Amino acid sequence: MLEVASWGRLRSVPHEVTRPAFLDIARAAVRPREAPLLCYGKGRSYGDVCLNENGHLIITDMLDRIIAFDAETGIVRAEAGLTLDRLLRVIVPQGWFAPVAPGTKFVTLGGAVANDVHGKNHEHAGTFGTHVRAIGLARSSGDVLTLSREENAELFAATIGGLGLTGAILWVELQLSPIRSAYVDTETIAIGNLAAFFRLAEESREWPYTVAWIDCLAKGDGAGRGFFIRGRPAEKGTLDVHAGRQVGVPLDAPNGLLNARTLGLFNALYRRRPWVLGARQMHYDPFFFPLDAVADWNRLYGRRGFFQHQSAVPMRNAFETLRKLLGLTAEFGEGSFLVVLKLFGDKSSPGVLSFPLPGATLALDFPNNGEGTRRLLDRMADVVLAAGGRLYPAKDATMSGQAFRAGYPAWRTVEAQRDPAIMSDFWRRVTADAA
């Protein structure tokens, strides 16, 4: 048995593990067993969607080959354990980029499909799953199926955002986006509050990439103060890939370096950095993946780990809901280092359980301070549900079954398509009390 954790490091749980290096071996590993199965990519999910306590984990990171790549059309087919990191090294020099990139490049294609991840360009490009042309899926019945919008369409829709429950994804075929350079023309603008965020977001509709970093210590009229960043692919520049240099965190920070005491200092320093403001050209790596510069930054939260709240709320009440969420954070005194705010557009995903909905999404990290943090997360979940929103399973470790099912009323469609040999801690948690 191997102890395995997810990115939030809230707990390490024992699993039997298989780590296949070839698709044939992976396929053979997907069979009924005494304990339930689950695939695990790079464990960049924060909570328990990638955990299966006392079960069997198929760790896919050695399934990392590109099967076919057409540099004329930008269609790539690759094994499910390939990371965006490795994919970008191959495709960028050929003038192609990931159509959707989450905030870290250390995710696998299988993980990106199973959580139907989104990036800074949701309003323009939708989710990752929107660009998936086909999936190779192994079921515990021994079947290996090709899924697409035309073939096995229902299983395709259940697999995109299907949290790994419908089978083991062996390969993914993806339509890439063309680029002329590896650089992004960016502008960073200071915003004084939430109203300024919404104004600027509205004015920036032509910009494919937008995101805001918020100072969660700001209260009252200043709530939502921070930086708004917008970007578009540069027309000129070289097609150089990321260097891959990372600073490491060799040890767990003893009591957590990121705590309420250091938070104020961090935010004050960040606010005083005038050089971040204005227009500049940035390489895609620091623009899309700034946190990847520090390997294992999750260890800075110490041994008790940390939570993330990420919710999506409909546009009609986004302003009020965000004010309430930020207000709750301030009230509980549980400051967050990383507060990211962005808008989602109305491009719908083929995925049944896809997280984004037209509106706004807020993501906050909280050090694990035990009961107090859990109470805050519950209160935030209540606010989100009352607003007709939902929480993101990829980031979640605490939502109740009721909260999940209210946010994802189509969950039974995925349950009906779930491979009977597969289960996750997340799914057990949110479906256990379902009638």
Ligand X SMILES: Cc1cc2nc3c(=O)[nH]c(=O)nc-3n(C[C@H](O)[C@H](O)[C@H](O)COP(=O)(O)OP(=O)(O)OC[C@H]3O[C@@H](n4cnc5c(N)ncnc54)[C@H](O)[C@@H]3O)c2cc1C
Q: Tell me which residues touch ligand X (CB under 6 A).
A: 7, 38-45, 49-50, 60, 80, 102-104, 107-108, 110-112, 114-115, 117-119, 163-164, 168-169, 291, 394, 424
Can you read off the two tokens belonging to residue 7?
A: 């990115």
Q: Check residue 369 and report its DSSP letter.
A: -
Q: How far is the CB of 410 from ligand X (least distance, A)?
A: 17
With respect to ligand X, which residue has the nearer C-beta, 7 or 96? 7
Can you read off the two tokens belonging to residue 81?
A: 């354990």
With respect to ligand X, which residue has the nearer C-beta, 125 or 394? 394
Q: How far is the CB of 368 from ligand X (least distance, A)?
A: 16
At a CB cut-off of 8 Å and minimum separation 6, what does 41 contact?
50, 60, 61, 80, 81, 107, 108, 110, 111, 114
What does the alpha-carbon distance between residue 113 and residue 92 come to, in Å, rounded to a whole number? Answer: 21
With respect to ligand X, which residue has the nearer C-beta, 49 or 399? 49
Other C-beta atoms within 10 Å of 286: how many? 13
Q: Check residue 116 and report its DSSP letter.
A: T
With respect to ligand X, which residue has the nearer C-beta, 43 or 231? 43
Q: How far is the CB of 418 from ligand X (least distance, A)?
A: 12
What does the alpha-carbon distance between residue 207 and residue 173 come to, in Å, rounded to a whole number? Answer: 27
**C-alpha of 8 from chain center:** 13
Element containing residue 2 per DSSP (H, E)? strand 2-4
Other C-beta atoms within 10 Å of 290: how many? 14
Q: How far is the CB of 63 from ligand X (least distance, A)?
A: 7
Q: How far is the CB of 257 from ligand X (least distance, A)?
A: 17
What does the alpha-carbon distance between residue 263 and residue 417 come to, in Å, rounded to a whole number? Answer: 44
With respect to ligand X, which residue has the nearer C-beta, 193 or 364? 364
Q: Check residue 77 and report its DSSP letter.
A: E
Q: How far is the CB of 40 from ligand X (least distance, A)?
A: 5
Using a 10 angstrom Cβ sphere, with 0-12 exposed, 13-18 middle and 19 or more buried, the burial of residue 358 is: middle
Beta bridge partners of 178: 96
With respect to ligand X, which residue has the nearer C-beta, 112 or 380? 112
Q: Check residue 410 and report its DSSP letter.
A: T
With respect to ligand X, which residue has the nearer C-beta, 291 or 434? 291
Q: How far is the CB of 45 from ligand X (least distance, A)?
A: 3
Nearest alpha-carbon partner for 385 in 401, 365, 368: 401
Element containing residue 268 per DSSP (H, E)? helix 260-271
With respect to ligand X, which residue has the nearer C-beta, 60 or 398? 60
Q: How far is the CB of 377 from ligand X (least distance, A)?
A: 17
> What percent helix, strand, coil does the chain show, rounded to 5?
30, 25, 45
With respect to ligand X, which residue has the nearer C-beta, 59 or 182? 59
With respect to ligand X, which residue has the nearer C-beta, 192 or 248? 248
Main-chain phi, psi angles of 224, to 5 degrees: 95, 5
Q: How far is the CB of 200 from ligand X (least distance, A)?
A: 19
Q: How far is the CB of 141 from ligand X (least distance, A)?
A: 16
